[in-house]
Amino acid sequence: MASDSWLFKQHVLLKQFEVVVRLFIPFVFIAFFRKFALPPKARFPFLIYSFLIFYMLTLSFISEHPIIVALNTVKFLYILSFPISLILVLQPQNFSHRFLYTPVFLGVFLAAQTIILFILIQSYHPPPGYSAVLVGYKNMKVLNYGLWGYAHGMMAIGSAEQVYRAQSFFGEPTEFASFMEVATILSYGFYKVEKNKAMLLISLLCAVSLVLTFSMTAYIVVLLGFCFYKLVFNWKKMGIVGPSLALAGGIILSGVILFYFYSASHPLFYGRSRWGFAFGHSPREITIRIEALINSLKIFWNNPLGIGLIAHRDSSILQNYSVIGSRLAPLGWMIHAGLVGIFTQFLILYYVLKKIIIKQLRKKDSFERYLALSFVVLTLHQCLAGAWFSALFFYLLVCVIATDTYGFNFSGNQVPKQNRRNMH
């Protein structure tokens, strides 16, 4: 929450607390657990990330503004201290499925927060709020409702047609949707495995809040994630018709997505009612996204090795482009780290999918498949809104690796996988 949201940026004391959490907690973990070795399947991803760090630091010293880019690079790459410390903390003797209650309980709190605020705003009884600026995050103006979170996603602000888009303390509704996707899947997984009806209720609340984000990205990602899961789970059953069905499904899905883009930006849909404002998108917004895609590809074409991490105002290269797609993970890495950055990221994802995710998705009646599905959905979501370098991304990456290594103990007396191998 400290890394991915703006919860701790509302007050000076909270900002100082965030700095303490982000800087010192990983070092504390590593100091206490430094004698533990990385799990075997964690070594390759962290080796690749080490190479990526070396490349980006090298790139910073041959960029336009070496000192600025180097400082930005160190600040950006520091997030890697979180998964390193986490993977060292999680060991056979203390690894449990309870570790994954964290996003579930955070999810139900944020779901209640956003659902109540949605009801208050749509019933024309909003709580007291004020305008604030998220400095450093596009410098966007948002409505700040204090403990009720932000409301940058208000459509047609000030008119009778306004619709609140669930956002909580995140920068944008689509970033909040990414967190709620994970919370919904994990809580549903706990319900299926533990038969705990309270978890089903939590999953439903998280799903409702996810819908209230009115995020086109989230809706598309959920659909893609479900199709990917069904395809992987039933691949062996389909036999030789599997590839043909996958191709046909891809074509149909692409058509549905294109139709959604068209209808959501059409005047008959977008401007007809308050719900049209919420679900739809202005034609200008679609134009901006296309322009960002084209400009990003132009930057990559002209700078195939990357330009490093540099602010728009400091870069003579970026000043030539009004809009770029740096919030899209593939385009972001293509811009900042070029061919090396995008290749290493795809290599890590391919390794994790092949060695762990696909195997876990095919497990029946297991919590592992829900954990794997949450990682797939988050990865897909960050293709359209994210960086493949967030705290939540690394949290799930560490969890799937640790799960594959140690296994979960749901019964209270189950021996971890690694110990079972040693016993045999």
**Which string of DSSP letters, residue by residue, matches 98-115?**
GGGHHHHHHHHHHHHHHH
Task: Give the residue among 166, 254, 60, 381 at the shortest CA–CA distance from 390.
Answer: 381
Q: Which two tokens stand for residue 27?
A: 């070092």
Calculate the CA 316 to chain-centre distance: 30
Q: What is the model's pLDDT at position 357?
A: 92
Digit-coded pLDDT (tens) for 124-157: 888 888 888 777 666 677 888 888 999 876 665 5
Mean pLDDT of all residues in 225-236: 76
Query: pTM of the prediction?
Result: 0.87
Distance CA 167, CA 85 (A): 29
Distance CA 50, CA 422 (A): 31
Digit-coded pLDDT (tens) for 53-76: 999 999 888 888 888 888 888 888
Distance CA 412, CA 408 (A): 10
Domain ranges of the chain: 36-72+284-424, 92-214, 216-279
Give the DSSP H or E segment for 130: strand 130-134
Average per-residue pLDDT for the chain: 81
Q: Which two tokens stand for residue 365?
A: 């009646």
Residue 359: pLDDT over 50: yes
Amino acid at 107: G
User: Which residues make beta-bridge pairs with 134?
Assistant: 140
Residue 371: pLDDT over 90: yes
Q: Which two tokens stand for residue 351?
A: 């390794």
> What are phi and psi for residue 212, nearest 5 degrees?
-75, -5
Q: Which residues of 37-67 are buried (b: 16+ CB within 10 A; e: fewer)?
A: ebbebbeebbebbeebeebbeebbeebebee
> What are phi and psi for residue 137, nearest 5 degrees?
-115, 80
Digit-coded pLDDT (tens) for 87-108: 888 877 777 788 889 999 999 9
Total number of residues shown for the chain: 424
Cα Rg of the chain (Å, integer) = 22
Q: Which two tokens stand for residue 155?
A: 């459509």
Mean pLDDT of all residues in 164-173: 90
Sign of CA dihedral 295, 298, 302, 307: positive
Whether the CB-CB separation of 250 and 256 falls below 8 Å is answered with no
Is 235 exposed, middle or buried, given 0-12, 13-18 or 19+ CB atoms closer than 10 A? Answer: middle
> What are phi and psi for residue 53, nearest 5 degrees?
-60, -45
Mean pLDDT of all residues in 405-424: 53
Measure Cα distances from 415 to 36, 95, 137, 153 in Å: 20, 11, 46, 48
Amino acid at 341: G
